[in-house]
């Protein structure tokens, strides 16, 4: 967070998407105002989000991005693989109809799920000042 200007930040596996929001709030609440683009890979199965606290920080990603002026420009929903899809998702995730859990099985990919998503957000002003 000590960077003056960061053009791109990418988040991937291992609960980074949860720790990222928590760390921004603690260390540098203005960090997203200095970033022009965010590539976010999220995981919603119980392997990654298994408590209300983790769900809170996961959802806070989208609030912080919106407040900093980011707009979604691309998204993809894909499966995490059978071991990660099998535990399912917290009831709260299903309640809000966020992508999670199994898709209809097909003969080409019987374990494809919805629990992993990729997003690309760009700041509305695209300057990342």
Rounded to 5 degrees, φ, ψ at 49 are -115, 100
119 and 72 in contact (C-beta within 8 Å)?
yes
Residue 44: how many other CB atoms lie within 10 Å = 27
Q: What is the pLDDT of residue 56?
A: 92
Which pLDDT band, with edges at 50, 70 and 90, does 91 fall under? very high
3-state secondary structure of 41: strand
pLDDT tens digits for 17-75?
678 888 899 999 999 999 899 998 888 888 889 999 999 999 999 999 999 999 999 99
113 and 79 in contact (C-beta within 8 Å)?
yes
């Amino acid at each position: 967070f000590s960077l003056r200007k960061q053009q791109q930040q990418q988040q991937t596996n291992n609960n980074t998407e949860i720790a990222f929001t928590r760390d921004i709030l603690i260390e540098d609440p203005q960090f997203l105002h200095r970033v022009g683009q965010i590539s976010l890979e999220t995981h919603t199965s119980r392997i990654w989000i298994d408590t209300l606290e983790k769900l809170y920080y996961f959802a806070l990603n989208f609030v912080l991005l919106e407040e900093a002026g980011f707009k979604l420009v691309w998204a993809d929903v894909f499966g995490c693989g059978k071991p990660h899809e099998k535990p399912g998702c917290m009831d709260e995730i299903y309640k809000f109809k966020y992508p999670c859990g199994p898709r209809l099985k097909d003969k080409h990919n019987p374990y494809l799920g919805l629990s992993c998503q990729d997003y690309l957000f760009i700041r509305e002003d695209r300057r990342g000042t």
